[in-house]
Amino acid sequence: MSDISEVSLTSIIRLPNVCAWMKKATRELFAEARAIHLAMQNGAVAYERARELAQPLLTTINSRTRRIACKYGVAPKEIKFQDLGRNL
């Protein structure tokens, strides 16, 4: 719990507006999703709640990666909630 401050945890738990997510870079979205996963690993958030919070972020990330993969003619790599704990 020492890695996550109370301010960042409260901003993670509140769901921001979906339109604001579209303006953020994909790396920032991925960092937010990993922060939610880290909070779950440290016991600050339950698994179900963490998955519920990260799902809209992962949906946006995956749609962007599909678009980029289509542009370059390669298969997209879908990111799941379980993948957030791994080094990608």
pTM score over 0.85:
no
* Within-domain flag for 80: yes
* Within-domain flag for 1: no
pLDDT averaged over every residue in the chain: 78
* Within-domain flag for 61: yes
Looking at the predicted structure, is the pLDDT value of residue 49 above 90?
yes
Looking at the predicted structure, is the pLDDT value of residue 44 above 80?
yes
* Within-domain flag for 54: yes
The proportion of the chain whose per-residue pLDDT surpasses 90, expressed as a percent, equals: 40
Split at pLDDT 50, 70, 90, the class of 33 is very high
* Within-domain flag for 38: yes
Q: How many domains in the chain? A: 1
Structural domain that includes position 45:
6-85
Split at pLDDT 50, 70, 90, the class of 26 is confident
CA atoms within 13 A on the CB side of 60: 21
